[in-house]
A and B are shown apart, each in its own frame.
Chain A
Amino acid sequence: MSKSELSSIVETSSDTAQLISTDDASTSNCAQLNNLSTDQNEDDEIQGSHGVRRRQPVQKIEPGSLNILSAKYESLDYDTCENHLLLDEERKRGYTFVVWKDIARWFIVLLIGVITALIAFTIDICIEEFSNIKYKQLKKSVDKYILLDKLYIPYLLWVLTNISIVFIGSMLVAYVEPVAAGSGIPQVKCYLNGVKVPRVVRIKTLFVKSVGVITAVVGGLAGGKEGPMIHSGAVVAAGISQGKSTTFNKDFKVFEYFREDHEKRDFVSGGAAAGVAAAFGAPIGGVLFSLEEGTSFWNQALTWRTFFGTVVATFTLNFALSAYHGHPGDLNYSGLLNLGKMEPFSFQFYELPVFILFGVIGGLLGALWNHINYKLAIFRIRYISSPWLRVVEACLVAAVTATCGFLMMFLLNDCRPLGEDPTKVPLQLFCADGEYNALAAIWFQTPEASVRSFLHDPLGSYKPVSLLVFVLSYFLLSTWTFGVAVSSGLFIPNLLTGAAWGRLLAIVIQYMLPSSNINPAKYALVGAAAQLGGVVRMTISLTVIIIETTGQISNALPVIITLVVAKWTGDFFNEGIYDIHIQLAGVPILPWEPPPLTHNIYASEVMSHPVFTLRTVENVGHIVEILKLVSYNGFPVVDPPLIDEAEVPTYKRLRGMILRSQLIVLIQNKIYNENANTTWSNLNVDMNMFRKEYPRYPSIDELDILDWEKTCTIDLRPFMNPSPYTLPHRASLPRLFRLFRALGLRHLPIVNDVNEVVGMVTRKDIARYRVWRHHCHMGMEELLLSSEI
């Protein structure tokens, strides 16, 4: 049996001929196919037939390339499997169940909002309290030893504190859960795009992430807690909606009906949005974030539910924070990152070019930031792979960050009189009595507070030289920090850098136009937006987030102009930082739009050709053999051929689709018969059997199947999806792309004119066509696949 299936790889058949002959009658596809067939060796082809850039095929690839897709990633399945079991379930449950499920959905979204906000609250309070203790102690030590001419003691104390705190976090990240490193936004983005990133939504990840972000920020690294908050929200959503924890091996027997990729992904998008809302106090920004960055499949009901979740998250956090800070009941206490309420600043027509200029600068700096970080990431991939090396690196970064801060305070004597600006830990250092060191004030507080200082302090608060030095060092530190084995985000460091250079430019403008009255807050805000936009290249959601954190809708126009210009400028040079990291990881992510000018690429080229099919009633031994042989996850179920000739394998008519996970559950539960002809009874089989194992199914090697069982047969018809989406082999790439992305498919069988399976398209087949556009050039290239990155 299996022989005939496998032999389709090597043998041509009447069907192949048929496929070509049908094309003959039609359009240009024939010419193209003929073209291809005249090429003696297709491996020599460097320039693809439609201007698709295809690189010289290589056997080995250098790690750290942007042009490789990893074959390890699997897709999520957004499509519901309409098999008999589902029909049975629907018939039994009726409309009550629909209503009940809807109520449960809203309840879960409520829970997601509340729990995400509580996690945010815990992280926030921990960071605040620990930082307070740390900086108070350091201040004491500085005040004491500076008079004794032993400044190295507080300095070394600071370095050691930072190193030991960061050490804890990076040990957790490097050894316990590497996927918790960084901001987590790239991973969440991939997940929402429909790629299953392993371990990204586990409870262990949540734990490591939360502790990691506290250690990173308290350890004084140039990182923020906003990105990790978004990831935490996603994990919370994935956890709660499933009603069970695989890590703790605990099944709460609730919400079983949400145990499928479709529902889980919807909840995760809501969770990520709630994370944004909690992080920035921006409910609308959260909804738009998950709309812009992630979810490829979107519907209105989901938007509405997500919005509910974000609002709940925002106000729960407000409530908790207000209670903690002694104003219980005040629901208006804003989120984690509070840029402070800004006065609506006035701007004139002639200022728009200034905003554009800021956008250009932000784009350029952002592109540079991304480039440096990209180079560092490549270096890390190639040379720093073992966990202990990553821990050492994180500790070194912590030490250098402290050194940088201390040197700056030591060398730049920027003194300010006490009492004008709210400084928590004013450090006198070499300043006169009654004054404090302005740079020490910036370094001796959490980065969030520093952003606020830059936005709200009056114009003369910082000397231009100190600002310049600060911008330079923080720019480099933040790009160096992102990618180290700690979990910290890049929002705050970039906002800080941007606010600093925005303020610097405000001083320059004031210097050039002494008569005008420059509002430093305006330029600092625009600078912060430009820098962040230049790095992450988000547009809609970032604008709304900034508007919401500053509480001013009237600032929308400058912010939008700046962000758009920053994005365009940055895109001229490279991708956004998240996309760079996604590409480095080789995740097959689908962009918003299909590649342009690709209507002449047909499904017959895109698809993987020899398809491994199963018959409607299949031999267990054969199934096990196929599952062990290939790594595919979906198998078309076909009619048995009329004549079972081993020599002439034919394409067979499509009957349905079945997933590897379903097959494994069937084999695991031994739902098979010794005799193929006995009548099938599936009284004790229902959907919950499949849901129980979700999302982690055992691999085929873990099942022990006795020899006698291999002769049994399974009737796949009740379990398979009887009406999978299919496309004819002459469908174009944009058509495939749209169907795939809009419906969130995982497998798309390609059929010929008589509904016989000729190929299979999966996400990787489509994602390998990637458009690049930099430096005024644009093109498409075909990526290589590798299973080892």
Chain B
Amino acid sequence: MDNKDVQSSLTGSGKTAEFNFLKSNLLNSNSASDTDISTVTIRNKHMLRYVVLIILVISTYKSLGSDLEQIHPVLKYRSEGYINSYPEECFDILKSFAEFASNFTLCSILNARPIRLCEHCVEHYVRFHDKYNELIKTVVNGTSCGSLFMSHDRLNVVKNYHDGISGLWVGGNCNDCFIWNNGSYNAKNDTKKFYKMFNDTMECIVFNMDFDNNIVCEKCMQNYLQLDEFYKGLSKDGIGVDSMNATRYIWSKNLNCCNLRRTPEVIFLCCTGIISFLPIMYYLAVRFCGPIRDLPNVLKESRFKQSILRSINRRSD
């Protein structure tokens, strides 16, 4: 269900390496969610390991790069048109923007499965978003900082990262979970309520896990139905889609609580039988009981040939 989201956001940032990493992570998580929820923590550990690995790789590369600089000549000047250096303010903003972006990325990857991105990373997102706006709006010497870093080359790194992260956020419908007030945010009442009900239900299920399935169903039915009703009542599928989906999945597939629905429905089958039989009756009745009609006559055509023949016959008579 979130496979698509992740893929789209990744194609946005265009990083295949990350993609592969995430994919494997995702596969892990998929198989994990099938078996048990308690593996969530274990999975997080897995992910941490990956992240640590990546950071290690990056840092070694960095140190490698500085080493290389001493051995091989590199492009040294970084400024607009490579002559004038950037204003310091802009560069500072850019630096913190980069930092926030990486913070959010880290947070979002860690909260990828199950999706807790909205509630856990909102802080990072807000900082990132604000910094981006600052970058765009800050004007030094008549040019905005944004224009210095954006739309000047093919890669357009800053813009691409911003779009990718925004895309992730919007794709998760995270904005719907909060009430926004001039940059400050508060979780909506609906969101809070949903979290609470969700937690109750899951607690109930986890708590009763050791018993027979039927007992779990019976005990948690109340909670589950409330949650389900509440979820259906929510206007948009923004809040907790995936949590709800997972819960439903556990409820009906793992615990098999939906089997109450399946019933033989004898009367229904009888009705269909009767109705399907009606046309056959109708056609047989029409075929054998209908009135016998007179068949249409063929029209005598008058042709030249006939009249000649007739006249010849007459002449010979």
Choose among A37, A406, A430 the residue that contacts B308 (Cβ–Cβ < 8 A).
A37
Q: Which of B242-269 contact A (CB under 8 A)?
A: 244-245, 248-249, 251-253, 258, 260-263, 265, 267-268
Q: Which of B215-272 contact A (CB under 8 A)?
A: 228, 237, 241, 244-245, 248-249, 251-253, 258, 260-263, 265, 267-268, 270-272
Cβ-defined contact, B295 with A9, below 8 A: no
Choose among B249, B278, B311 the residue that contacts A432 (Cβ–Cβ < 8 A).
B249
Identity of the chain A residue whose Cβ is nearest the Cβ of B272 in the assembled complex: A403
- Flag whether A96 is at the interface (Cβ < 8 A): no
Cβ-defined contact, A152 with B279, below 8 A: no
Q: Which of A44-92 contact B (CB under 8 A)?
A: 57-63, 68, 71
Identity of the chain B residue whose Cβ is nearest the Cβ of A380 in the assembled complex: B286
Binds B, one of A345-353, A389-397, A719-727: A389-397
- Flag whether B303 is at the interface (Cβ < 8 A): yes
In the complex, A151→B252 CA distance in Å? Answer: 21
- Flag whether B211 is at the interface (Cβ < 8 A): no
Q: Which of A376-396 contact B (CB under 8 A)?
A: 379, 383-385, 389, 392-393, 396
Cβ-defined contact, B251 with A42, below 8 A: no
Cβ-defined contact, A785 with B265, below 8 A: no
- Flag whether B296 is at the interface (Cβ < 8 A): yes
- Flag whether A604 is at the interface (Cβ < 8 A): yes
Q: Which residues of B contact A115 (CB under 8 A)?
A: none
- Flag whether A147 is at the interface (Cβ < 8 A): yes
In the complex, A147→B262 CA distance in Å? Answer: 9
Binds B, one of A185-193, A208-216, A605-613, A669-677: A605-613
Cβ-defined contact, A12 with B258, below 8 A: no
- Flag whether A593 is at the interface (Cβ < 8 A): no
Q: What 0/1 readout, one digit per residue, does chain A (717-748) give for beta carbons within 8 Å of chain B?
A: 00000000000000000000000000000000
- Flag whether A156 is at the interface (Cβ < 8 A): yes
In the complex, A420→B248 CA distance in Å? Answer: 16
- Flag whether A464 is at the interface (Cβ < 8 A): no
- Flag whether A125 is at the interface (Cβ < 8 A): no
B262: min CB distance to chain A, Å: 5
Cβ-defined contact, A609 with B302, below 8 A: yes
Q: Which residues of B contact A432 (CB under 8 A)?
A: 248-249, 251-253, 258
Cβ-defined contact, A419 with B252, below 8 A: no
- Flag whether A587 is at the interface (Cβ < 8 A): no
Q: Which residues of A contact B297 (CB under 8 A)?
A: 59-61, 786-788
- Flag whether A465 is at the interface (Cβ < 8 A): no
Q: Which residues of A contact B312 (CB under 8 A)?
A: 12, 37
Choose among A20, A60, A420 the residue that contacts B298 (Cβ–Cβ < 8 A).
A60
Choose among B258, B265, B299, B305 the residue that contacts A433 (Cβ–Cβ < 8 A).
B258
With A403-B272, A417-B245, A784-B298 as given contacts, are A42 and B278 in contact (CB-CB < 8 Å)?
no
With A383-B287, A432-B252, A786-B298 as given contacts, are A12 and B241 in contact (CB-CB < 8 Å)?
no
- Flag whether B159 is at the interface (Cβ < 8 A): no
In the complex, A605→B268 CA distance in Å? Answer: 66
- Flag whether A10 is at the interface (Cβ < 8 A): yes
Cβ-defined contact, A410 with B265, below 8 A: yes
In the complex, A243→B311 CA distance in Å? Answer: 52
- Flag whether B301 is at the interface (Cβ < 8 A): yes
Cβ-defined contact, A434 with B252, below 8 A: yes
Give the size of the chain B interface in residues (CB under 8 angstroms).
51
In the complex, A137→B298 CA distance in Å? Answer: 55
- Flag whether B315 is at the interface (Cβ < 8 A): yes
Q: Which residues of B contact A399 (CB under 8 A)?
A: 275, 278
Cβ-defined contact, A57 with B298, below 8 A: yes
In the complex, A208→B244 CA distance in Å? Answer: 49
Choose among B244, B262, B303 the residue that contacts A608 (Cβ–Cβ < 8 A).
B303
Choose among B237, B251, B275 the residue that contacts A419 (Cβ–Cβ < 8 A).
B237
Q: Which of A225-260 contact B (CB under 8 A)?
A: none
Q: Which of A413-470 contact B (CB under 8 A)?
A: 417-420, 429-430, 432-435
Cβ-defined contact, A433 with B298, below 8 A: no
B118: min CB distance to chain A, Å: 17
Q: Which residues of A contact B308 (CB under 8 A)?
A: 12, 16, 20, 33, 36-37
- Flag whether A118 is at the interface (Cβ < 8 A): no
Sort chain A's interface into a size bin: 35 or more
Cβ-defined contact, A609 with B276, below 8 A: no
With A419-B237, A434-B252 as given contacts, are A758 and B304 in contact (CB-CB < 8 Å)?
yes
Cβ-defined contact, B263 with A61, below 8 A: no
In the complex, A432→B256 CA distance in Å? Answer: 9
In the complex, A589→B287 CA distance in Å? Answer: 31
Cβ-defined contact, A149 with B263, below 8 A: yes
Cβ-defined contact, B279 with A396, below 8 A: yes
Q: Which residues of B contact A62 (CB under 8 A)?
A: 295
In the complex, A427→B275 CA distance in Å? Answer: 23
Q: Which residues of A contact B268 (CB under 8 A)?
A: 151-152, 155, 410
Cβ-defined contact, B298 with A400, below 8 A: no
Cβ-defined contact, B272 with A406, below 8 A: yes
With A383-B290, A410-B265, A604-B304 as given contacts, are A71 and B311 in contact (CB-CB < 8 Å)?
no
- Flag whether A159 is at the interface (Cβ < 8 A): yes
B201: min CB distance to chain A, Å: 12
Identity of the chain B residue whose Cβ is nearest the Cβ of A58 in the assembled complex: B298
In the complex, A152→B309 CA distance in Å? Answer: 73
Cβ-defined contact, A36 with B305, below 8 A: yes
- Flag whether B310 is at the interface (Cβ < 8 A): yes
In the complex, A170→B278 CA distance in Å? Answer: 18
Q: Which of B48-70 contact A (CB under 8 A)?
A: none
- Flag whether A103 is at the interface (Cβ < 8 A): no
- Flag whether A407 is at the interface (Cβ < 8 A): yes
- Flag whether A789 is at the interface (Cβ < 8 A): yes
- Flag whether A644 is at the interface (Cβ < 8 A): no
Cβ-defined contact, B306 with A434, below 8 A: no
Identity of the chain B residue whose Cβ is nearest the Cβ of A418 in the assembled complex: B245
- Flag whether A759 is at the interface (Cβ < 8 A): yes
- Flag whether A11 is at the interface (Cβ < 8 A): yes
Identity of the chain A residue whose Cβ is nearest the Cβ of B304 in the assembled complex: A609
In the complex, A785→B296 CA distance in Å? Answer: 10
Cβ-defined contact, A152 with B271, below 8 A: yes
Identity of the chain A residue whose Cβ is nearest the Cβ of B303 in the assembled complex: A609
Cβ-defined contact, A151 with B282, below 8 A: no
Q: Which residues of A contact B278 (CB under 8 A)?
A: 396, 399-400
Q: Which residues of A contact B293 (CB under 8 A)?
A: 385
With A149-B263, A400-B275 as given contacts, are A12 and B315 in contact (CB-CB < 8 Å)?
yes
Q: Which residues of A contact B248 (CB under 8 A)?
A: 432-435
Q: Which residues of B contact A59 (CB under 8 A)?
A: 297-298
Cβ-defined contact, B311 with A16, below 8 A: yes
Q: Which residues of A contact B1 (CB under 8 A)?
A: 417, 419-420
In the complex, A146→B307 CA distance in Å? Answer: 77
Identity of the chain A residue whose Cβ is nearest the Cβ of B306 in the assembled complex: A42
Most buried by B among A36, A68, A789: A36
Cβ-defined contact, B279 with A400, below 8 A: yes
A391: min CB distance to chain B, Å: 12
In the complex, A728→B34 CA distance in Å? Answer: 88
Q: Which residues of B contact A397 (CB under 8 A)?
A: 279
In the complex, A789→B262 CA distance in Å? Answer: 55
- Flag whether B77 is at the interface (Cβ < 8 A): no
Identity of the chain A residue whose Cβ is nearest the Cβ of B262 in the assembled complex: A430
Q: Which of A137-157 contact B (CB under 8 A)?
A: 146-147, 149-152, 155-156
Q: Which residues of B contact A68 (CB under 8 A)?
A: 296, 298
Cβ-defined contact, B307 with A12, below 8 A: yes
- Flag whether B82 is at the interface (Cβ < 8 A): no
Q: Which residues of B contact A20 (CB under 8 A)?
A: 308
B314: min CB distance to chain A, Å: 8
Q: Which residues of B contact A159 (CB under 8 A)?
A: 275
Can you list 30 pairs linking A and B with CB atoms under 8 Å apart?
A: A9-B302, A12-B312, A12-B315, A33-B305, A36-B308, A36-B309, A60-B296, A63-B295, A63-B296, A71-B299, A147-B260, A149-B263, A152-B267, A155-B272, A399-B278, A403-B272, A410-B268, A417-B1, A430-B261, A433-B228, A433-B251, A434-B244, A435-B248, A604-B304, A605-B305, A608-B302, A608-B303, A609-B302, A609-B305, A785-B298
What are the nearest 7 A-B pairs in CB distance? A432-B252, A12-B311, A434-B248, A788-B296, A609-B304, A60-B295, A152-B268
